Amino acid sequence: MNLSREREQLRALERAGKLEKLLAPNDDGMPWADLCWLLQFPAFLGAGIHIARMGMAAAERKASPPDEDIAWLVVLVLVAAVLRFGYPLLRTRAQRVRLKVRRSGLLLPAAVVQCNDQFFAEGNEQWVPGTLLVSFDPQVLSEPERLAKASERLFALKHADRRTLPLAHAAIAWDLYHEMGPTRSLVVPPELSEGLKDCVMVTAMLPPKPLASGRMFTALAVRGDMSPEAVAVIPAAAVRDGQSVPRRGAAWTSA
């Protein structure tokens, strides 16, 4: 499994500012960071107008502009610079994580543990919530079927008696059972991960047609960040010749 070509395409999309629109919709509303970025344009326009007026007045008087006009110009340029370079400070934590995912996330195979039934509905065009298993172990690229097996083991815990399970297993079982999300990701203990290292169970939104390779979806993920925003499932439309998943009845199971 080699995802470097796809990662390169996603990088190109991000550079063109198109990747965010292709990923799961968010409920940011009107983000202050974006509004602040927009306001730099009237700020620079205002500064430009002031420079033009100052220059014309100075030419008329054949004297250098008065100090207060220069001071006002400094203020206007300062405001424009703050808006231009300070807008990232207004990003929320979720926005910062999503940006990190797009820019430096690793492209990994992701196995479905469970997902909303709507995903399998004929003609579904909705993003639906799901629980996925991802591994940051490089081994997963050569043996992705181990990830699929591990996801089945996790799903088997869903209706197990949690009182009889070890604490880490019970936490996974409870997360699958309550089906509420988005919740923080859970580290999967090695005995459940088919020998793969660095496995985490994450909640994520699934696109109607995810980019798939065999039984696996493809996701961008940031290592070490357990917030639900740290994983983004890639839709097939995001890459050239992207294949989507076979529907229900294929080799993999759902909740």
Task: Give the footprint of other proteins on this chain (CB under 8 A).
Answer: 29-30, 35, 38-39, 42-43, 45-50, 53, 72, 76, 79-80, 174, 178-184, 228
Q: Which is nearer to other proteins, 125 or 161 (CB)?
A: 161
> Minimal distance in Å, beta carbon 19 to other proteins?
25
Please list, in sequence order, all residues whose beta carbon lies within 8 angstroms of the beta carbon of residue 22, skipping any fewer than 6 positions away: 13, 234, 235, 237, 238
Question: Which tokens go with 185?
Answer: 């990701």
Q: Which is nearer to other proteins, 161 or 241 (CB)?
A: 161
> Phi then psi for 195, rounded to 5 degrees?
80, 0
> Minimal distance in Å, beta carbon 49 to other proteins?
3
CA distances from 233 to 139, 183, 192, 205, 238 (A): 20, 16, 23, 7, 11
* Residue 134 three-state SS: strand
> Minimal distance in Å, beta carbon 46 to other proteins?
4
DSSP annotation of 251 reads S
> Minimal distance in Å, beta carbon 27 to other proteins?
8
* Residue 21 three-state SS: helix
> Minimal distance in Å, beta carbon 39 to other proteins?
6
Q: Which is nearer to other proteins, 30 or 59 (CB)?
A: 30
Q: Which is nearer to other proteins, 167 or 251 (CB)?
A: 167
Q: Which is nearer to other proteins, 12 or 52 (CB)?
A: 52
Q: What number of residues does the chain have?
A: 255
Nearest to 235 by CA among 2, 13, 1, 4: 13
